[in-house]
Structure 1
Amino acid sequence: MSWNAEIVLKSGKVVAVADLVSINRISQSDSSVSKNTDFENFVLPSKGVLSFVGKNNIAWLEASDIEYLLLFRVN
């Protein structure tokens, strides 16, 4: 069982990431990376840069550009 992400941006564009490995938040103050693999309890921050890391692709997005995020399991 794996997780997928569907990210809808405020511009209306949709970004999809399959086989999600982690969602990383890059600190603006010191460039440290906070790695999150607990997708069931993930809370979308209002600011900062996020990387959605999939098995075969990565999407880097500003949290403030995201309208909403859908995380779901697939078989």
Structure 2
Amino acid sequence: MSVENLIKMANQIGQYFSTESDHKLAVHGVRQHLQNFWTPAMRRELKDWQDQNPGDELHALVRAALAEPAAQA
């Protein structure tokens, strides 16, 4: 899967969880979704891309979820 598709899907997940008023719960929701529905390879590819491109192309909640160690497993 292309990194562009991963970014698009991740941003959709971030947008969905942005309706949660508790930031910590929103980040947890994004992280859980990535853990439950994405393969480890997909998570690694997105994380590697984010490490190389630290801009704001990814939704803030996705960036926060990827920064947590559990999201990389």
Classify the TM-score, shorter chain.
Answer: under 0.3
Higher Rg: 1
TM-score w.r.t. length of structure 1 = 0.27
